[in-house]
Amino acid sequence: MPNYGRMMVHRQLRVDNQPAVRKEDMERPKVSLNKSPIIRRLGALESYQIALQTLNLIRSNVVSCRFALPKRLAPTARHHDLVNEFERAVARVVLAHPHMQVGIAGAKTSTPSWIRLDSINLGKAIKWQTVKGGHDAFQKELQQTLSREADTRFTKFRVEPGWRIRVLRSEADTSFIEILLMFNHTHLDGVSCKNFYRELLTHLHASDSGLDDFSQASHNPFLSNHIRNLSPASALAASLPPPPEYILPFPVDPTAFEHFFKQEIQTPSSQYPRNVATHAHWAPIQFTSPDTVPFRSRIRTMTFPANIAEELVQACRKQGATLTALLHGIALVSLAPLRELVAKADAFAFLTPINIRKYLPSPDSGGRNGCNKKRFNAETAMGNYVTIIEHVADEELVGRVRGTLTESKYVSGCNFQPNPRAAEADEVLSEVHDLIFVAARRVRADLAVKSESCSPRGLENDMIGFVSRGVSDWRRQLQEEVKRPRKSSWVVSNLGAMEGKPSHSLEEGREEKEDGWSITRMSMTLCANVVASALGIAVASVKGGDLVVSVSWQEGVVDEKVGDAFVVAMEKWLRLVAERQRADGLMLFGASGRFDCNKVPKVPTAA
């Protein structure tokens, strides 16, 4: 959806502070149709996500972590004990977070509600698989499982939680397990998954260190036949984290809102503007039906070792960018020159999801409408606390990229290879490197403007403010969206770097176990989204470990040749940036290894 706030943020705002929360949304019916206690109605973003799910416009996003096992649990003979301890640790995390304990009533209506689940069968929610063969066989099975799970729908909203777990073990190397957490975005966001793994690691570490009451038990008293009874409805009602619009004002400019409402809500799809230069005309929306067109996500993964990851971060610092902004710049120079897009895209719109937890009230502060309970801590809470920022690469910038990367110089259609006739190849690479960071600095400037838009009045002119006021029925709205042009070409979601060691071992004065639980690798994968960005780029890492970048798209919407060429180009340009940074570092220190301050380049300004 277009960012109607961006047109207003550079001048004096006339802010409509009318509450975005409707009174009826605050009222809690006593029971749902199946007699399950209702906790509250879904908020604006939650309602949007469940509508995507029930209309078959999205499936499952995945956050995966590789856990190194303690030596005592590595042998195959101890697999039962491993399963036992793992299930107990998962159960403890679930009990601490209400959004992992609830289902959804009225999922296919305009007023869906959270309901209490009586229990969760972890034997069903967690599936284990042992992979035969060596490293290559394991990696192949991991990618196949990832693709399969990303395309698996959540369907039993009323009786099952909005998450599931798959655990893979290698027959040849039993020293680790790969955990895939699939989540319904209605319940959780990427940061929620990060919090899940952090707490899971803490509980596993406690069990391994004998800090768990049941760590030495041969059975599992915390569970009964893999089933864990959940919190009573009264406790969930008191502790279920509220949606952001319940606890933070989202004021909008009345003029911007009027334009948004007329174009996005009232305009019939047949009359919707179709000649907007930034729209992704190269990847039109194709509404899928399980009975007609199969929904498949195409997923590609790039892995960069720790030294390259560090060089990329250093390059961003030197150039006045961030890793997220760099990935946007890389995406632009990877996609724009492809011959298949030249006639269909003169400019691009693209998106960045933003974690808004830092803007939400602290546990000690009073929340809006009395909804912020002292037990709510935004930083550790699991829920849906994300907003979206739209960026634009205009015709001028796209023209500069294409003017540098023409067929005669570097690329030819989807075959991303150096042209051997290009004597000026090094010059071209330098020009592309500069353009990458021109785009990256523009993105960073957009992100800075968003950060500055949070005032004592709330988060101003944000997407949440527009949709919470303007959209009353997300199913009806999305049924119109699928008939309109796709607005965004790509999205970059950066989960950041996670600490791979348990929090206990990081405390000063504590001795770290050499063979205890730890996280050695993390990745995130976005499933295809029928109505949102054509290409989904996700990045995650463990501190000091590999940087993992995944790219996904909907089969049949993005030509596979285009998708593969895009991924190949991204990897080449990312490695180029790292190589340039490495070369600059060698130049600064010289052959003597001494730092030469006279060779430090100035940070460029945004172009």
What pLDDT is recorded for position 378? 86
Lowest mean pLDDT among 20-29, 362-371, 437-446, 536-545: 20-29
Q: How far is CA 381 from the centre of its chain?
A: 16
Instruction: Tell me whether strands 297-304 and 227-229 are parallel, antiparallel or unpaired.
Output: unpaired
Mean pLDDT of 468-476: 95
Please report the pLDDT score of residue 424 as a whole number: 57
Please state the rounded mean pLDDT for residues 485-504.
92
Residue 544 has pLDDT above 90, yes or no: yes
> 162-179 in b/e burial notation, b at 16+ Cβ within 10 A?
bbbbbbbbbeeebebbbb
- Residue in 280, 340, 156 with CA at minimum distance from that of residue 530: 280
Q: Average pLDDT in the 570-589 region?
A: 83
As given in the structure block, the two tokens for residue 77 are 């003979």
The whole-model pTM stands at: 0.88
Task: Assign 473 to helix, strand or coil.
Answer: coil
Share of the chain above pLDDT 90, in %: 67
Q: What percent of the chain shows pLDDT beyond 70?
A: 79
β-bridge partners, 104: 114
Task: Give the three-class secondary structure for 596.
Answer: coil
Q: Give CA–CA dist 363/308, Å, rounded.
A: 39
**C-alpha span between 518 and 516 (Å, rounded):** 6
| SS3 label, residue 351 | strand
What is the band of 217 on the pLDDT scale with cuts at 50, 70, 90?
very low
Least confident segment among 247-256, 368-377, 441-450? 368-377
Closest CA to 354 of 462, 457, 439: 462
Task: Give me the mean pLDDT over the 143-161 stretch.
Answer: 95
Least confidently predicted of 53-62, 219-228, 470-479, 567-576? 219-228
Q: What is the pLDDT of residues 261-281, one digit of tens each?
A: 999 999 999 999 999 999 999
Structure token pair of residue 216? 């030495």
- Name the DSSP letter for residue 241: P
Beta sheet of 386-393, edge-to-edge order: 297-304, 547-554, 535-542, 490-498, 348-355, 386-393
Cα 514 to chain centroid distance, Å, stands at: 32
Average pLDDT of the residues in 392-421: 70
Measured distance CA(385)–CA(402) in Å, rounded:
37
Instruction: Give the pLDDT band of residue 212 (cuts 50, 70, 90).
Output: low
Helix, strand, or coil (residue 120): strand
Band (pLDDT 50/70/90 cuts) for residue 232 is confident
How far apart, in whole angstroms, are the C-alpha atoms of residue 127 and residue 455?
46
Q: Is the pLDDT of residue 512 over 90?
A: no
Report whether pLDDT(246) > 70.
yes
Question: What local confidence, expressed as pLDDT, does residue 453 receive?
Answer: 82
The average pLDDT across 214-242 equals 68
504, pLDDT greater than 90: no
Q: What is the pLDDT of residue 598?
A: 44
Among the listed residues 321, 319, 325, 331, the one whose alpha carbon sits nearest the alpha carbon of residue 354: 325
Lowest average pLDDT, out of 67-71, 292-296, 403-407, goes to 292-296
What pLDDT is attached to residue 511? 52
Q: Per this entry, what is the length of the chain?
A: 607
Residue 214, pLDDT > 50, answer: no
Amino acid at 53: Q
Its sign, for the CA torsion 331, 337, 341, 342, is positive
> Taking CA 416 as the corner, what is the angle to CA 413 and CA 418, rounded to the nearest 5 degrees?
115
